[in-house]
Every structure is written in structure tokens, then in C-alpha cells.
């Protein structure tokens, strides 16, 4: 099927997610919260502080290419079904564009543009030589068979084969995808090139060239930046309490690692509900429960509570690790923690940021907090290129060095300019991208 490359398209309203605040209401009118507009607001506030050339800022803030494909896939019953796929390359200024592929029924162009933009700034914050990209397919992967998922993935790769490449655009897993999808992706691309090219994707199975430590990398990055933020706040982790919204890969691993440092988790939620234990939830036992039951609900010794309680709990640390737009102007005033560590992308809206800042709640922003994933993806790409693989201890050591240095750089920018950590992170990232543009120049 033909694909179309677009400069702009009317944004679609994302489907409402369970426990997600994706809309605001004004005078009985429901208005969708544009995730990409949120990114532009964050960018704009940081850019004003930098006082850079407006034309330069206009060049670096918008996606360079947005592509939509219509994908015909044969289902197991012999019928054909059409799926919509997206790939947005936000920037290739600092290196190949990098970003995951999301399989979810609520995927929209607006969301993918926002996620691609965050990837640019995230890569710049941790100072790795990547630009930003993101992809997605509108589907429910849990309602598709393994064969249907494979055929969908291979069709998506084939229709965008000219976009991807280890020196061009490097995908990774995201919501609804994982190592298996990356294996199909790598194989399809490699067959088109008639040779094995493991560096075209990251997050692959270890046997296919994946990196040790990759599956825990995002959650480990959340733990490391939370640890550094607690040092700054003089908050003792061994006596700290926490809640985590979302108990998927990022939420569960960050909770596990922080639990090992002594943090007591009182609230945990997933897509099925939320649980509470005032004495603390045994995270290792909860992980075993989830492995068997596929949900946190029904965990012995816990009480079922309203999922909103997780966001409003009186705890020291809140980790939103679900989807975008969870803390908005409607509920930010009810957030009562000391520290928010953004495991998810875009869980706090710009309007909510102002309320949290006024209430002296420190927010470790997504483009810093959850950058562990892209950092170890970079390590995997490097290992694929040189053909030599590091131990897990080496990967984790290098990740810690990167995350601690990035936190210090962001904190310094924040304190020196009297801005929030989020605006400090954006200022740091924008300055690094603009520096490269000025050195390279703009081809026209």
C-alpha cells in the first residue's frame, strides 16, 4: 500500500484510557489534551529562558518527517484487516533518530509526534549521539494472535523500509511491543538487505545481539534519578514511602530496585485496579503474584482502593509509570507527595506543573528520569557495531555514570537559572541540539 508523508494533519482525539485524564471539560464541552501541544509548551518556556535565535528554535522544535501507512494484514480466519501505522522522525541533528514502536488502540499522530520530540530531548539530556523518533500502530496487541502480530510487524517494516537503518532510524520496544517484535523487525529488515543487521533495532533478545541489562534499564534509570533527587532533598530512602501508578516493565522494576534500597511502597496500581497496605507492599512477592495472575489485583494482605488514591496518596515519592496526562490541572492540587519521578512519558501536563511547583513538589522530568532505556539502547547499538558485548555489571555501571552525570547537569541548569528541573532539562537539551546545528550549519 502507498504511504504518505505529511507536514501536518488534523489531530485525532485519543481514546480514553483507563485511569487516564486525557480530556478537560469546559462549559460541558470535552476538549482533548494534545500531548504534542504540551511538549511545545515545555519547549517554549525553556527556549525563552535561553534567549536563542527564534528562527533557530523554530527549526529544532518541529518534527522533520511524519509518515502514515495503511497496513493490510491477513487475519487467522483468512480475512484482511486494515491497520494504521505511524513513524515520526523528530530530529537527526545529533545522530540517527531513535525511538520505540507502540502497539496500542489509542495511538494517534499527535501522541507519536510528542513521543518523538521527547526522544530528541531525552537523548540530548543524557548526551548520547541520537536524535528522536517514535512509531506506533493502532491496534490492541492482546487481541491479536502471535501470527497476526508477526504479519502486522513485518508489513509495517516492509512499508517503511526506506526510513529505517542502523545509521538512519533505530526502533526499540515500547507499550505493547517487546523483544519478539524487535526480532521480527530485525529479520524483515535483514532479509530485504540480504544480510544480518542486528543494529537496526535495540531491545532484541540477547541471542540476537541484545544487550544485557536492557530490560531493566528504564526502571533502573528511574531508581537512579530518584536516588539522586532524594539526596538533593535530604530524604532518607530507607525511611521513605512511595506509590507507583502502572506496574508494567518500568513501574515494577523501579519499584523493585527502590524497595531494595529500603523504600516502602504503600500503593500500587495497574490497568485492572489499585492496592494498598499501610505496612508496606512486599514488592518481590507482588512480582511473583503478577507473574502468575497477570495483575496486582487480589494480592494477599492488600486492600483494593480507588486508582486515583495512588496519585493522591500522602507518601514521599510518587512514580507515575502508566500513560500521558495523568496529573492535570484538575487533580494536581490533590497530589501530596514530596517528589514525583516520571517513569512514564508526559504524565504531568504543563498546567499541573505550575500547581506542583507552587506546592513545592519536586518533579524529576521524564526526559531525564526515564532516559535509562534510550541510554542502554545506545549501549546495545554500540555493541552491535563493534561486535563485542559487555557484562551486565559493565552495562549497569556505565548507565549509572550517565544518569548521575545527567542529573547533576540538569540540577545545575535548574539552580543556576532558578527554574524547575523540567525547564532546566529542556534548556540543557535544546542548548546541546542548537550547538550542533550551529557547528554543522543548515543545508538549503
Q: Indicate the pTM of the whole model.
A: 0.89
pLDDT at residue number 32 = 64
Query: Is 420 buried (19+), middle (13-18) or exposed (0-12) by CB count in 10 A?
Result: buried
What's the order of all strands across the beta sheet hosting 303-305?
A: 303-305, 273-276, 264-270, 241-245, 317-320, 339-341, 362-364
- CATH architecture for the domain at 63-200: 3-Layer(aba) Sandwich (3.40)
Nearest CA to 346 out of 326, 363, 331 is that of: 326
Give the three cell numbers for residue 357: 511547583
- CATH architecture for the domain at 217-369: 3-Layer(aba) Sandwich (3.40)
User: Each residue of 374-400: pLDDT tens digit?
Assistant: 999 999 999 999 999 999 999 999 999
Residue numbers of the chain with a pLDDT score lower than 50: 1-30
Give the contacts of 96 (CB within 8 A, at least 6 positions apart).
Answer: 130, 131, 165, 166, 167, 168, 169, 170
pLDDT at residue number 362 = 98
Q: Where are the domains of the chain?
A: 63-200, 217-369
- Which of 21, 61, 98, 134 is the catalytic position? 134
pLDDT at residue number 31 = 56
Same fold, 63-200 and 217-369: yes
pLDDT at residue number 14 = 35
pLDDT at residue number 224 = 98
User: Each residue of 40-51: pLDDT tens digit?
Assistant: 999 999 999 998
Look up 49 and say whether it is catalytic: no
Give the three cell numbers for residue 246: 502502572
Amino acid at each position: 500500500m502507498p504511504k504518505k508523508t505529511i507536514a501536518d494533519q488534523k489531530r485525532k482525539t485519543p481514546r480514553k484510557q483507563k485511569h487516564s485524564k486525557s480530556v478537560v471539560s469546559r462549559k460541558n464541552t470535552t476538549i482533548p489534551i494534545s500531548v504534542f501541544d504540551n511538549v511545545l509548551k515545555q519547549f517554549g518556556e525553556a527556549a525563552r529562558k535561553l534567549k536563542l535565535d527564534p528562527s533557530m528554535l523554530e527549526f529544532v522544535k518541529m518534527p522533520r518527517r511524519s509518515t502514515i501507512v495503511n497496513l493490510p494484514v491477513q487475519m487467522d480466519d483468512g480475512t484482511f484487516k486494515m491497520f494504521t501505522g505511524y513513524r515520526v522522525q523528530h530530529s537527526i541533528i545529533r545522530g540517527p533518530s531513535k525511538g520505540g514502536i507502540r502497539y496500542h488502540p489509542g495511538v494517534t499522530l499527535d501522541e507519536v509526534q510528542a513521543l518523538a520530540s521527547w526522544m530528541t530531548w531525552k537523548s540530548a539530556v543524557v548526551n548520547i549521539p541520537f536524535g528522536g523518533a517514535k512509531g506506533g500502530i493502532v491496534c490492541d496487541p492482546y487481541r491479536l494472535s502471535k501470527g497476526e502480530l508477526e504479519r502486522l510487524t513485518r508489513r509495517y517494516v516492509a512499508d517503511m523500509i526506506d526510513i529505517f537503518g542502523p545509521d538512519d532510524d533505530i526502533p526499540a520496544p515500547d507499550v505493547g511491543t517487546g523483544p519478539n517484535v524487535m526480532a521480527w523487525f530485525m529479520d524483515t529488515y535483514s532479509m530485504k538487505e540480504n544480510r544480518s543487521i542486528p543494529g537496526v533495532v535495540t531491545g532484541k533478545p540477547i541471542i540476537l545481539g541484545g544487550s544485557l541489562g536492557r530490560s531493566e534499564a528504564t526502571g533502573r534509570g528511574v531508581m537512579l534519578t530518584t536516588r539522586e533527587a532524594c539526596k538533593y532533598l535530604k530524604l532518607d530512602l530507607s525511611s521513605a514511602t512511595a506509590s507507583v501508578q502502572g506496574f508494567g516493565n518500568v513501574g515494577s522494576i523501579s519499584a523493585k530496585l527502590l524497595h531494595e534500597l529500603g523504600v516502602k511502597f504503600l500503593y500500587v496500581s495497574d490497568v485492572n485496579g489499585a492496592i494498598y497496605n499501610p505496612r508496606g507492599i512486599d514488592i518481590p512477592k507482588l512480582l511473583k503474584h503478577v507473574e502468575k495472575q497477570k495483575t496486582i489485583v487480589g494480592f494477599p494482605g492488600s486492600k483494593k482502593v480507588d486508582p486515583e488514591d495512588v496519585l493522591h496518596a500522602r507518601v514521599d515519592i510518587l512514580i507515575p509509570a502508566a500513560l500521558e496526562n495523568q496529573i492535570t490541572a484538575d487533580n494536581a492540587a490533590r497530589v501530596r507527595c514530596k517528589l514525583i519521578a516520571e517513569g512514564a512519558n508526559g504524565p504531568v501536563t504543563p498546567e499541573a506543573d505550575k500547581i506542583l511547583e507552587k506546592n513545592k513538589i519536586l518533579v524529576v522530568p521524564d526526559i531525564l528520569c526515564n532516559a535509562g532505556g534510550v541510554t542502554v539502547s545506545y549501549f546495545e547499538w554500540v555493541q552491535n557495531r563493534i561486535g563485542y558485548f559487555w557484562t551486565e555489571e559493565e552495562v549497569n555501571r556505565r548507565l549509572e555514570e550517565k544518569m548521575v552525570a545527567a542529573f547533576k547537569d540538569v540540577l545545575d541548569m535548574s539552580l543556576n537559572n532558578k527554574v524547575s528541573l523540567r525547564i532546566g532539562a529542556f534548556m540543557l537539551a535544546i542548548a546541546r541540539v542548537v550547538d550542533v546545528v550551529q557547528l554543522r550549519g543548515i543545508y538549503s
